[in-house]
Amino acid sequence: MSETVIAPPVRQAPYNREAVARVIAERRHLDGPLMPVLHGVQDALGHVPSGAVGQIAQALNLSRAEVHGVITYYHHFRQEPARGPVLQVCRAESCRSVGGEALLAQARAHGSCTVEAVYCLGLCAQSPAVMLQGQPHACMTPAKLDELMAEAGDFR
Ligand code: FES
């Protein structure tokens, strides 16, 4: 005789449903609303919580897989809250050719920020470039990065 085993329900971490609903209400009527909604949710909450995927999918008449696919495809979208200030370091060609990789390694070793690699910040003529908490910084040097990361503590 076989025994039926019922898996426990998957628990989602709590998140701010009202904030997500506000973003959806503001942006659902835009053309191609998924990206604007995801940007809005990340701006509001600092990340796109896994629990919000179903809420967004239902509101935009999409499948959860479609929403999840977009979130995981774009590096910009964070599925967990950042730990500390967010420093984005450009790894695209122009920055890479003038020391961007060394800056990325330096930033990761520093440990005061959540460090994310990104591919072009639109500051190629002033490479290498980074962005701290949404503020761009160009013509970076190791010394300037040290100063910037020391100041990053002010964002905590
Ligand atoms: S390549 Fe780094 S800002 Fe464009």
Which residues does a 6 A CB cutoff place in the pocket of ligand 1?
Answer: 90, 92-95, 120-124, 127, 129
Distance 119 CA to ligand 1 centre (A): 7
The residues near 15 (Cβ < 8 Å, ≥ 6 apart) are 45, 49, 51, 52
Q: What's the pLDDT band for 4 if we cut at 50, 70, 90?
A: confident
Instruction: Quick: pLDDT tens for 100-139.
Output: 999 999 999 988 889 999 999 999 999 999 999 889 999 9
C-alpha dihedral sign at 144, 150, 154, 156: positive
pLDDT in tens, 51-104: 999 999 999 999 999 999 999 999 889 999 888 899 999 999 999 999 999 999
- Ligand 1 probe mutation, 89, 91, 95, 137, most atoms within 8 A of CB: 95
* pLDDT tens readout for residues 137-155: 999 999 999 999 988 875 5
Q: Which atom of ligand 1 is nearest to the CA of 94?
A: 1
Q: Locate the ligand 1 atom nearest the alpha carbon of residue 95 and give its number.
A: 2
Q: Quick one: pLDDT at residue 2?
A: 63
pLDDT band at 13 (very low <50, low <70, confident <90, very high): confident
Atom of ligand 1 nearest to the CA of 124: 4
Q: What is the DSSP letter of 59?
A: H
Determine the pLDDT at residue 10. Answer: 60
CA-nearest of 104, 45, 114 to 83 is 114
d(CA 22, CA 64): 19
Half-sphere exposure for 76 (CA within 13 Å, toward CB): 16
pLDDT digits (tens, 9 = 90+) for 14-55: 899 999 999 999 999 999 999 999 999 999 999 999 999 999
**pLDDT value of position 151:** 85
Number of the ligand 1 atom closest to the C-alpha atom of 91: 2
Going by C-beta distance under 8 Å and a sequence separation of 6 or more, which residues neighbour residue 75?
116, 117, 118, 119
